[in-house]
Amino acid sequence: MAEGLPGWVLIGAASDIVERGAGMRFPVRERYGRQDAQLTGFVVRFEGQLYAYLNQCAHVATELDWIPGQFFESSGLYLMCATHGAIYLPENGTCTGGPCRGARLRQIDIREHQGSVYWLPDDVLAAPNPPDH
Ligand code: FES
């Protein structure tokens, strides 16, 4: 947990998240009945703001990135799913083209604090379990 931000979980350095460029993945644990699913979230920067989503396409439950951390298509205006090409508005996760038009990515609360980026777990998305020793 983040010092000074109780309940928030560190993702990484804000300076590593590039405007309309390289984003950052982070591990999340989706609570799913009695079972948990180990998934990822991602954060991108668009027009100076950070936005974070669960890394699951609204079309088929698969990760969006082309290569790890790359979510924008070539214009830098949209996020694009690598599987079938759905495009999403970076600022709200709405699919505006492709097979899931009108659906949305699941947004994750995010905060920039003293040069680092943090996300906030909720009733469904939790921090990953610490590794076994
Ligand atoms: S899985 Fe993303 S567009 Fe089909």
Domain boundaries, the chain: 9-121
pLDDT of residue 3: 63
If one residue of 54, 78, 79, 84 were mutated to test the ligand 1 pocket, choosing by the most ligand atoms within 8 A of its CB, it would be 84
pLDDT of residue 47: 97
Question: Roughly how many angstroms between the first and final C-alpha of the chain, as a whole number?
Answer: 20
pLDDT of residue 1: 54
d(CA 118, CA 72): 21
Ranges in the chain, pLDDT < 50: none
Ligand 1 within 6 A of 95 CB? no
Q: Which of 60, 66, 76 has its CA nearest to residue 25?
A: 66
- The CATH homologous superfamily to which domain 9-121 belongs is Rieske [2Fe-2S] iron-sulphur domain (2.102.10.10)
d(CA 83, CA 111): 29
Give the nearest ligand 1 atom to 81 CA.
2
pLDDT of residue 63: 98
Ligand 1 within 6 A of 84 CB? yes
